[in-house]
Structure 1
């Protein structure tokens, strides 16, 4: 059962759908896409005393990204539209906070985060949003969500927006520092600025 998440605007992996949406003639198609260098993925969180940001090094992404999809009557179903983010490639701005972030994500046992596109419901004419299903896996726990995607298409595809998640959804316990006086809030935000191009 997919869960609706309020306030989600655009999602990293979901932007890849628009790249693949060229010439739907065969029931099953394959395409390859590239995430351009000007793209950015940042995880932001807050504590009871300050905030923090952790930027992902997109140069570490395996390129190109290969997509296989089936066109159905009401949904476009994806078979292997999965993006893997290596936890160690997040930089939070210092050794201590990097260590805390890796501890939070249980990196020693689960070294990567997975994002998988499940389906897309094609938009109506002149409509700028589409219903999408996505599966997110963090620290070995997977959750499925249903949301809307907004995407701007010019020569390439530009995806900008924020995905809001709760650490508790993935059975993660926010760390406490300085004898419990500093506490990380349950909600985190993933800010995305992605420039995508078909290969």
Structure 2
């Protein structure tokens, strides 16, 4: 099985919420060196995301997000595919996410939607020893739960 993912339309989206509202931070500035991500038994992608390239749609929120992830000290978030297996119409991958020198492995189910490889996984700030921030003297509390969405444009 060989699967190719092209550079355009790639994104990683992190959805979270507070006790007041929801937030969404997206990084769509990354691409493979060759222009195409390849998924074969011998070659699985390593995706390096620059934390400062996440955009939360609001300058203050984007700055807070980058500060939470300590982007000055840890500028990259690395998503490494450990394995990738076809299961019926979908794919199952073991994905290692490395953030702030903490690594965590997740089983992620991917499906093909409109020529894109889409994967979704619930993760937690606490998986990476990050304490969810509080704002305005604790009146606004960020919840520990995050929804991570991967989208890689594919050519199968």
Shorter-chain TM-score range: 0.7 to 0.9
Provide the residue aligned with 2:3 in structure 1: 19
| CA distance 1:181–1:82, change in 2 (3 Å) | same
Structure ranking higher on relative contact order (CA contacts 8 Å, 6+ apart): 1
Unaligned runs of 5+ in 2: none
Aligned-residue offset at 1:158: 1.6
Partner of 1:160: 118
1:141 to 96, 102, 114: 102
Aligned to 2:135: 177
Structure (1 or 2) with the larger CA radius of gyration: 1
| Structure 2 match to 1:5 | none
**Partner secondary structure for residue 49 of structure 1:** coil
1:91 aligned counterpart, secondary structure: coil
Structure (1/2) with the larger strand percentage: 2
TM-score, length basis structure 2: 0.83
Query: Secondary structure of the residue that 2:143 maps to in structure 1?
Result: strand
Provide Cα deviations, 1:76-106, integer angstroms capped at 9, x if missing partner: 354x620001011111122211111011111
**Residues 158 and 18 of structure 1: CA distance in aligned 2, closer, same or farther (over 3 Å):** farther
In the TM superposition, what is the alpha-carbon distance from 1:167 to its structure 2 partner?
Answer: 0.6
Question: Structure 1 length normalisation: TM-score?
Answer: 0.67
* 5+ long unaligned stretches in structure 1: 1-16, 21-32, 70-75
2:19 is aligned with 1:35: no
Aligned positions, number: 155
